[in-house]
Amino acid sequence: MAKQKVAYIARGKSDISLTTEQLKGVDYELDHHICKSDGEIIEAVKGADIIINEVVPMSRAVIEQIDKAKAIVSLGHGFNHIDDDACTDKGIMLVNCAGYCAEEVANHTIMLLLACSRRLIAMHQLVKSGNWTASTNRGALPFYPMGHLEGQTLGLVGFGNIGRAVARRATVFGLNVLVFDPFLPSWVVQEYRIGTAPTIEELGARSDFVSMHVPLNKNTRKLAGESLFKAMKPTAYFINTCRGPTHDEQALIKALKSGKIAGAGLDVFEEEPTPASNPLLKMDNVVLTPHSAGTSDHSAVAGRMRLGEEAARIMRGTLPMSLVNPAVRHKIPARPLARSS
C-alpha cells in the first residue's frame, strides 16, 4: 500500500504526539495545519487520504471541495461542527471519539442532579454569607422543599454511551430510569432494566429529572422545547450536559420564571460563552458550569489517543469503531469491521 497522507487541522497550536503514537506501523506522512478560515482548510486538506480534525468547523461548502480524503476523524464526542450530511453525500466517513469521556460526563450529570435535588447552591451561599441555621422549623430554612432521591424517576433523552453510563450511576441512588430514544434496541431495554417512553412529553410527565444525552443535529435541535417543559412536573428539574441547542433556551427560561419546573442544571448553552445578559445567570434555582462535563486529566489523554486509533484503523483498511454517518457505507467500497486496539 502506498504511503498515505494525513492532514491534521487545528485552530491553534497543539501537541499531536499522543495521536501520532497510535499510528506506529502505518506508512504515512502527516502535515499539521493551523486553520482560521474556510480557504485555509480547503488548502490544508488537498491530496490528504485522512483528515484529523481538532474541532475545526467544516461546512458543506468546505467538504464539497475535498478532493481525496476517505475519512474525517474528529476530536471529541460531539460532531456538530462538521456537516455530517455533506460527508455522506460526498462518500466520506465521519468519525468521532465516542465514549472517550462518557464516564466524566455521566459523573457531571449526576453532580448537577444532586446539586439541584439537595439545593447545593442555596446552602453554599448561606454559609458563605456568614449565616447558619440549625432550626427544625421548616419555614426558617431557605432550601425547602428538598427532594428525596430514592424511588424518584430520572428521564434520559438518548441512551448511547453516556446515557447508559448515567443510568448505571442513577440506579445506585435508587432512582428509576426512564428513556426516550426512538432508536433504542429492545435487548438494551432488557439488559439495563429500564422503562421507555414513546414521546419526550410523556418522559417529562413521568420524570422527576430530565437529562439530555443526544448529539446535536437537525433532528435534535430544540428537541427539548416548550411542549416538554409544559409536560414536566412543577417539582422536576431539567439537566443538559450534551449541547445547548438541543434545548430551546428561551422556552426553558420561560418555564423557570413561571414555575413550570423547579430548576435546572446546565453545562451547555445556545451561545457559548453565554452573554452576561442571559437571565439564567441570575436565577437561584439554576446550577451552571462552563461546558466542562467531559473534562478531566484522563479524557484529555484518551481523546487524542482515540484520534490516532481511529485514523490507524481506517488507514489499515477497516471500518472505524465510531462511524457517525453509517449511511456512507452504501457509497464506499466494502471494508472489514473495526477491531479493538
pLDDT in tens, 64-88: 999 999 999 999 999 999 999 999 9
Q: For residue 155, how far is the Cα from the chain centroid?
A: 16
Q: What is the pLDDT of residues 274-317, one digit of tens each?
A: 999 999 999 999 999 999 999 999 999 999 999 999 999 999 99
Q: Are 54 and 13 in contact (CB under 8 A)?
A: no
Burial 52-89 (b: 16+ CB within 10 A, else e): bbbebebeeebbebbeebbbbbbbbbbbbebbbebbbb
Element (H, E) at 51: strand 50-54
Q: What is the pLDDT of residues 132-183, one digit of tens each?
A: 774 545 555 566 778 799 999 999 999 999 999 999 999 999 999 999 999 9
Domain containing residue 191: 102-288
Same-domain check for residues 22 and 122: no
Same-domain check for residues 133 and 55: no
C-alpha closest to that of 59 among 42, 82, 79:
82
313 burial type by CB count under 10 A (0-12 exposed, 13-18 middle, 19+ buried): buried
Is residue 339 situated within a structural domain?
no
Same-domain check for residues 247 and 129: yes
For residue 259, report the phi and psi dihedrals to the nearest 5 degrees. 80, 15
Same-domain check for residues 66 and 190: no
Is residue 162 situated within a structural domain?
yes
Compute the CA torsion angle 94, 100, 104, 105 (nearest 10 deg).
20
Is residue 337 situated within a structural domain?
no
Residues classed as catalytic: 243, 272, 291
Q: Give the list of residues 6+ apart from residue 122 with CB closer than 8 angstroms, or none.
A: 142, 143, 284
- Report the pLDDT averaged over residues 18-44: 97
Same-domain check for residues 132 and 248: yes
Q: What is the CATH number of the domain that holds 189?
A: 3.40.50.720
Same-domain check for residues 47 and 81: yes
Strand partners of residue 209: 154, 237
Same-domain check for residues 199 and 272: yes
Same-domain check for residues 280 and 173: yes
The Cα 155–Cα 312 span in angstroms is: 37
Is residue 338 situated within a structural domain?
no
